[in-house]
Amino acid sequence: MVSPLRRFVIQTVMAGLALLITHQAQAVQTIGPVSDPIGVIKVPAGAPIQIGGYWVLSGPDTALGLDSKRGVEIAIADIGGKLLGHPIKLNAEDDLCSGEGGQTAAIKLASNPQTVAVLGSACSSATTPAAPILWQAGITNICTGCTAPSLTASNRGPAYDGLLRTIANDGDQGVADARYLYEVVKARTIVTLHDGSPYAQELTSVVAANFTRLGGKVLSQEAIAPTDIDMHPVLTRIASEKPDALFMPIFVVAAAQILRQSHEVPGLAHTTLVGGSSLAAADFIEAAGPSVIGFHICMTDISDDAMGSFYPAFVEKYRRTYGEGPISNGHANAYDAAVLVFKAIAQVAKSDKAGNLYIGKKALRDAEFGVKFDGISGHIACDPYGECEAFKPAVYEFVSDDPKTFSIGTNPKKVWP
């Protein structure tokens, strides 16, 4: 049976195909000094350049989205809050890290005719339905945290032609995670666990395939609902298989329940539990309690050595601005996504004598795909399918159950490579 969200995405893709054909058949739109085959945005003199954003900004996974939003805010501040003589306005929506939330956020942002480009999400679940809605309106979506491989796959379809991302995808993450489990943890048997989200489903599939190629055995691939509270049934099934490791790239609430309840299920004492980047947050430490100590998460490397040379200064600016260090791992990717958009706008926008600014939508999309620069997360250069960031793997370990000690690099601390 096709899920309602999957059905919505399929319908949106078909609509996107129709839209593409319509765009190709339409006459070129000309407004002021700019002509563009899919439309022109006029920014009146003195009016702001409006950039949309959508992230998870409420609930237990808020740190994922708020950290990204802050990265964009710092990027805006770094150019003085203005571009080409116009103030920059960020219109942020809460996508709840869900398909329905992403759909709603995208509709709101696309309904604003002044939306030039959109940044986000931190969640593949939200981006999967949102990106086609935005591109139907000729609005590009530069993702700051969505990692599902399908979003930038060569067969993703024209409805996703407006999607780029400044974070590496889980095709690369999964290869590294499987190698860590096999070579470092020394696991020879594993069980994977996902929550039905595109992020977790696709990542566990990649890990399973690559772990098998290395010579390991995947005993089973389990699934839960993100709202599940009682994890004893699934943990009991897993314990009966006696795996060396359980790979569980799920989100805060469910992962915390798994960690807490795993100590209550006989047979898991010798099973190593490993999570993903979705758990890089103080809220996870608080939710998991003492069971978080020693727990490992696989994610991109955001240590000073792995990031761009501008990163340490960025972190210091983050602390001065918000009174705390980065609260998750999306800030650098979001900063670079904003810079990518600013550089592309500067390339294609044209002004008239009255001070009005004109931005061609397809011209902007093409410019975004061609922008290259050294960002704070590393070198940014996009391939034809919107993959703009090289992957740098790392594993971090939680060493304290005090949420106040959360700081990526300290708690959790980097333990590999």
CA separation for the pair 7, 2 (Å, rounded): 6
Q: Rounded to 10 degrees, what is the CA torsion of 80, 81, 86, 87?
A: -150
List every span in the chain annotated with CATH 3.40.50.2300.
31-167+330-386, 171-303+394-416
Query: What is the mean predicted confidence (pLDDT) over 387-400?
Result: 95
CA separation for the pair 49, 31 (Å, rounded): 17
Contact 407, 178 (CB under 8 A): no
Query: What is the mean predicted confidence (pLDDT) over 385-406?
Result: 96
Q: Cα–Cα distances in Å, from 330 out to 58, 151, 347?
A: 16, 18, 26
The predicted pLDDT at position 356 comes to 98
Contact 123, 64 (CB under 8 A): yes
The predicted pLDDT at position 24 comes to 42
**How far is CA 407 from its chain centroid?**
20
Q: Cα–Cα distances in Å, from 244 out to 229, 232, 288?
A: 24, 18, 21
Domain 171-303+394-416, what fold? Answer: Rossmann fold (3.40.50)
Letter for the amino acid at 373? F
- Single pTM value for the model: 0.91
Mean pLDDT across the chain, nearest whole number?
A: 93
Residue 30 exposure: Cα atoms within 13 Å on the Cβ side: 2
Position 242 pLDDT exceeds 70: yes
Read off the pLDDT band of 82 (50, 70, 90): very high
Residue pLDDT, tens place only, 195-230: 999 999 999 999 999 999 999 999 999 999 999 999
Please report the DSSP string for 222-261 in residue order: EE--TT----HHHHHHHHHH--SEEE----HHHHHHHHHH
The predicted pLDDT at position 304 comes to 87
The predicted pLDDT at position 20 comes to 44
The predicted pLDDT at position 26 comes to 56
3-state DSSP: the chain helix, strand, coil percent, rounded to 5?
45, 25, 35
Q: Please name which of 135, 185, 176, 172 lies closest in space to residue 156, comparing C-alpha atoms.
A: 135
The predicted pLDDT at position 305 comes to 86
Residue pLDDT, tens place only, 108-142: 999 999 999 999 999 999 999 999 999 999 999 99
The predicted pLDDT at position 1 comes to 37
Three-point CA angle 72, 73, 75, nearest 5°: 65
Position 392 pLDDT exceeds 90: yes
Q: Please name which of 117, 125, 173, 206 lies closest in space to residue 389, comparing C-alpha atoms.
A: 173
**pLDDT above 90 as % of the chain:** 91
Domain 31-167+330-386 has CATH 2.70.98.30: no
Residue pLDDT, tens place only, 163-177: 999 999 999 999 999
| Preceding peptide of 226 cis, ω within 30° | no
User: Residue with structure tokens 């499987």?
Assistant: 178
Position 19 pLDDT exceeds 70: no
Read off the pLDDT band of 10 (50, 70, 90): very low
220: part of which helix (H) or strand (E)? strand 217-223
Structure tokens at 389: 């960031």
Query: What is the mean predicted confidence (pLDDT) over 43-67?
Result: 97
Contact 99, 125 (CB under 8 A): yes
Q: Cα–Cα distances in Å, from 322 out to 295, 410, 412?
A: 28, 19, 20
Position 263 pLDDT exceeds 80: yes
Position 357 pLDDT exceeds 50: yes
